Structure 1
């Protein structure tokens, strides 16, 4: 298994994994994660810009051999985001998405992706890395805790039904 930077050529192979993350999140909490349209297509150009910026951690787990075409079985999408101007911290790393195909889970692939993202954000000079994890996603919570993350805030959500117009 090779953990490496994603390239623009990898984007078509990353998009199915993005779709899986989105479907998982929408299934677990449809009020928070209601997806419009094809999330993969919506990511396509954005990912290209993030990769080109050099200020991100877009990583893939490639299970192919040295001379084989890429076999992308996992990915992590991390960005450098700006903090609002009232805080000393100006920017932070944010892990937006993490996915490993089911057949490669429990083999340390996700941990390798997170570890590499931490190293990448450190090299980019950020002082903090954040992420969101569903309260019901115990495996992900345990993974992130063993990688050094700690709970910080608890986001709360109140769905409000639209008021019919008269």
Structure 2
């Protein structure tokens, strides 16, 4: 941990005023995944931060949604987005908490902030009745996978992708 970040972050529920920062982080998350595998993950476009911000803002305050931010001296340094979901027959699972996004500013990684955000989300999902918590992680995201394993997650699925010749799909998804 660097000297300037000795105090633990404050974790709090997101508010609509946080949306612009969260949208920027969401776009960064998309760009990172696209960098790892551009054939699988859609690229972030010029309007992605605003669209992501609007969408996350629409989720804030829902009973079945958790959006938390990590804050250090009034600066948001990361967020987690999770949902409480019923059975999902396509995913072959029963009711669960689902972690959809976990992002920490690259300048603040490896300081425990992502772990704190994730643990708080898991605790809240369990408190809302989730019998288990699931998440997906990019195949090349070894750092995140190691974090998830340290917290107690175990590998249960491997997504596999076969690319078809459809160049029109990637562009339309990011617009």
Q: TM-score range by the shorter chain?
A: 0.7 to 0.9
Would you say the 8 A contact 1:50–1:79 is kept in 2? no
Residues 1:6 and 2:6 aligned together: no
| 8 Å CA contact 1:77, 1:98 repeated in 2 | yes
Structure 2 stretches of 5 or more lacking a match?
Answer: 1-8, 169-175
Equivalent position of 1:105 in the other structure: 109
The alignment partner of 2:117 has SS state of helix
- Change in Cα spacing, 1:13 to 1:163, as seen in structure 2 (3 Å) is closer
Q: What are the equivalent positions in structure 2 for 1:61-76 lying under 5 Å apart?
A: 61-64=70-73, 70-76=74-80
Secondary structure in structure 1 of the residue aligned to 2:77: strand
Cα distance in 1 for partners of 2:125, 2:60 equals 14
What is the aligned partner in structure 1 of residue 139 from structure 2?
A: 135
Matched position secondary structure for 1:53: coil
* Aligned counterparts, 1:32-71, within 5 A: 32-35=40-43, 37=45, 38-64=47-73, 70-71=74-75
C-alpha deviation, 1:119, in angstroms: 0.6
Q: Partner of 2:119: helix, strand, or coil?
A: helix
Provide, for residues 45-88 of structure 1, a one-character-per-residue CA deviation record: whole Å limited to 9, x for no partner. Answer: 32123212122121111001xxxxx3001111112233335967
Which of 29, 39, 47 is the aligned partner of 1:21?
29
Unaligned residue ranges in structure 1 (runs of 5+): 65-69
Alignment map for 1:81-100 (pairs within 5 Å): 81-85=85-89, 89=94, 91-100=95-104
Query: What is the aligned residue count?
Result: 158
Give CA-to-partner distance per residue, 1:77-127, whole Å, 9 cap, x none: 1122333359672x3211111111122111110100010011110111111
Q: What TM-score, normalized by structure 1, do the two folds share?
A: 0.86
CA–CA distance in 2 between the matches of 1:97 and 1:149? 15
8 A contact 1:59–1:75 mirrored in 2: yes
